[in-house]
């Protein structure tokens, strides 16, 4: 297979294999530690779906690497040493007293969790199995405490002049900071401390906890000497990122394109990694070139932010949307393409289900595409599937039809009976096929209740409502009732033509007939395709309703 036709993750896996084979240092790292694919997230609040894109990208890359024989794993770290730097809108003002304190040292807002950090991190990662993400988890704070960063801390502090030069080269302005923030021994804040001297021989930092170092938290004024090791502090983010690559032996780590923008954290990170730590920049970076990050996940054209409390949280999306469809959306879209998905007010969910069903048909050989489409569809289906893939083509019920059936029948058992009566399902359906249909009905019910446009939502009238219809409308409804009673085998297309013919023959416009029919059935002027709708409800039942119109 040519690389141009490859699925994006398989292409990345080959790039990583090539890098391991051709770069001696990377090869040495791989032989000792395996291929570590890394990501991290600050648990400052509800973590948004945009972060979920990175998690799925890393999970898919790891799976693609393992398929070609590489020893690859994905690890996600909670950056729980970061300071609480903005009031969380979900929490009472009493939490503002923790501004400047590391998240791991702040109490959980909910009982049963060790800390603020654990509560918000677990809120997302507990959903990983539902979305098919295979991942190991770790705490950045625990890594600091365990001494995993100690070597990097000493290198960075011994070479703070190099880091200073890199910052000044990059940003064209003076940089006079010692690149480390200790936790104040008196007030416990990390955002308010300023390192003022490094004793290389004693390996101690002199720091001051300053009252006005940052606008959003006040220091206590304490100062002293402290070891920077074993959890007594942390790097600032732009130094911490390359320190993690070096300390954890990361070979691959993507990030959002904002991090990869000119002068961003990736740009300076690769310089610090290569020039200070002597460590090869992780893929997709190479040497001092940052590479390209993944595009944003937007909801209705809006970028999301965890710290600003905007957007949709990852955990809420997984609770609301079918996890299979969420994973499919994230897997099928190349990392360098923006995802703009809005389940409300548009038909994005309908299109997503339709595309998934087509991919499934191609995978099982029930639909053809060109060579590239077939190859990519099969890999997308494999990598987006959650759980074991069925041995045969599952029964497919389009989302809109499943929604129609579940709303007509009011429950799943009744919906399955309607699908069997209409010939969409065999009478003896069971096992995995029955489970698949049940899940689609659940998805359809969720869509109808939460996201569907008005044209797809309805309640069937149990009694014929009192209506102000013209005599022509009433007469045509009665005529159609006779057709329905005497035409059990008529097709939906033939029935639609009868609607037009009968209306025309009686001087009634088709629009006036359809409006009258929908008013009788669902008290609306429009709804699902009428012939198909009537067939689903039952022709004789609808005929009885039309006959009662006066």
524-544 burial string, b = 16+ CB within 10 Å, else e? eeebbebbbbbbbbebeebbe
Instruction: Give the pLDDT score at 306.
Output: 39
Task: Give percent of the chain with pLDDT exceeding 70.
Answer: 97
Span 156-214, pLDDT tens digits = 999 999 999 999 999 999 999 999 999 999 999 999 999 999 999 999 999 999 999 99
pLDDT class of 308 with cuts at 50, 70, 90: very low
Locate 207 and state its tokens.
Answer: 């720091």
Task: Give yes or no for a cis peptide into 284 (omega within 30° of 0).
Answer: yes
Instruction: Give the pLDDT score at 301.
Output: 56
Angle between the N-to-C axes of helices 160-171 and 150-158, in degrees from 0 to 180, rounded to the nearest 10: 70
Span 470-498, pLDDT tens digits = 999 999 999 999 999 987 788 899 999 99
Range 284-293 average pLDDT: 96
CA–CA dist 511, 103 (Å, integer): 62
pLDDT class of 307 with cuts at 50, 70, 90: very low
Q: Where are the domains of the chain?
A: 150-234, 399-456, 471-547
Range 228-232 average pLDDT: 98
Instruction: Give the pLDDT score at 296.
Output: 87
Instruction: Give the pLDDT score at 193.
Output: 98
Q: How many CB atoms lie within 10 A of CB 494?
A: 12
For the beta sheet containing 35-41, the strands, ordered from the edge strand earlier in sequence to the opposite edge, are 136-139, 72-78, 35-41, 250-252
Inter-residue contact 252 to 282 (CB < 8 Å): yes
**370-377: which pairs have CB atoms within 8 A and are 24 or more residues apart?**
371/5, 372/5, 375/1, 375/5, 375/6, 375/7, 376/5, 376/7
Residue 404 has pLDDT above 80, yes or no: yes
Range 325-353 average pLDDT: 90
pLDDT class of 380 with cuts at 50, 70, 90: very high
**108-116: which pairs have CB atoms within 8 A and are 24 or more residues apart?**
115/80, 116/43, 116/84
Nearest to 377 by CA among 398, 363, 394, 393: 363
Please return the burial class of 457, using the count of CB atoms within 10 Å of its CB with bins 0-12, 13-18 and 19+.
middle
Classify 471-547 by CATH class: mainly alpha
Instruction: Give the pLDDT score at 309.
Output: 38
Locate 293 and state its tokens.
Answer: 């990050």
DSSP class per residue in 233-253: EE--HHHHHHHHHHHHTEEE-
Q: Which of 113-117, 306-310, 324-328, 406-410 is the least confident region?
A: 306-310
pTM over 0.75: yes
């Amino acid at each position: 297979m040519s690389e141009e036709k490859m699925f994006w993750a398989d292409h990345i896996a080959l790039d990583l294999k090539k890098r391991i084979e051709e770069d001696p240092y990377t090869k040495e790292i791989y032989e000792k530690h395996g291929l570590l694919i890394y990501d991290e997230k600050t648990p400052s609040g509800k973590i948004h779906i945009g972060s979920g894109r990175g998690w799925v990208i890393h999970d898919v890359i790891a799976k693609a690497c393992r398929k070609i024989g590489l020893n690859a794993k994905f690890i996600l770290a909670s950056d729980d040493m970061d300071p609480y730097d903005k009031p969380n809108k979900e929490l009472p003002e009493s939490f503002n007293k923790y501004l400047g304190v590391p998240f791991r040292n702040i109490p959980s807002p909910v009982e049963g969790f060790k800390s603020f950090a654990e509560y918000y991190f677990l809120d997302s990662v507990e959903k990983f199995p539902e979305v098919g993400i295979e991942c190991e988890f770790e705490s950045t704070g625990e890594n600091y405490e365990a001494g995993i960063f100690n070597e990097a801390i000493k290198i960075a502090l011994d070479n703070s002049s190099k880091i200073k030069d890199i910052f000044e080269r990059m940003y064209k302005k003076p940089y006079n900071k010692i690149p480390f923030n200790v936790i104040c021994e008196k007030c416990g804040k990390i955002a308010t401390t300023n390192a003022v001297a490094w004793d290389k021989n004693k390996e101690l930092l002199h720091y001051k906890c300053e009252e006005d170092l940052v606008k959003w938290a006040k220091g206590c004024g304490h100062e002293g000497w402290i070891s920077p090791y074993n959890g007594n502090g942390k790097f600032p983010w732009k130094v911490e990122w390359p320190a993690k690559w070096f300390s954890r032996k990361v070979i691959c780590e993507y990030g959002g394109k904002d991090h990869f923008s000119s002068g961003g954290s990736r740009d300076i990170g690769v310089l610090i990694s290569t020039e200070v730590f002597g460590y090869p920049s992780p893929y997709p970076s190479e040497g001092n070139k940052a590479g390209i990050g993944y595009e944003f996940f937007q909801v209705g054209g809006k970028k999301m932010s965890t710290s600003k409390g905007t957007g949709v949280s990852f955990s809420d999306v997984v609770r609301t949307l079918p996890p299979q469809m969420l994973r499919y959306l994230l897997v099928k879209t190349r990392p360098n393409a923006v995802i703009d998905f809005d389940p409300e007010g548009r038909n994005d969910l309908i299109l997503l289900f339709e595309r998934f069903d087509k991919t499934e048909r191609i995978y099982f050989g029930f639909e053809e595409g060109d060579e590239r489409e077939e190859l990519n569809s099969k890999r997308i289906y494999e990598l987006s599937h959650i759980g074991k893939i069925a041995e045969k083509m599952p029964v497919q019920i389009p989302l809109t039809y499943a929604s129609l059936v579940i709303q007509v029948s009011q429950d799943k058992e009744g919906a399955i009976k309607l699908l069997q009566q209409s010939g969409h399902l065999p009478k003896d359906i069971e096992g995995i096929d029955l489970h698949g249909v049940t899940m689609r009905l659940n998805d359809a019910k969720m869509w109808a209740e939460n996201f569907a446009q008005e044209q797809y939502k309805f309640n069937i009238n149990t009694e014929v409502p009192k209506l102000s219809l013209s005599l022509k409308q009433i007469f045509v409804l009665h005529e159609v009732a006779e057709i329905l009673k005497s035409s059990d085998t008529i097709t939906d297309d033939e029935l639609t033509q009868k609607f037009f013919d009968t209306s025309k023959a009686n001087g009634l416009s088709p629009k006036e007939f359809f409006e009258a029919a929908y008013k009788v059935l669902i008290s609306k002027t429009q709804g699902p395709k009428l012939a198909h709708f009537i067939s689903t409800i039952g022709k004789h039942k609808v005929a009885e309703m039309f006959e009662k119109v006066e």
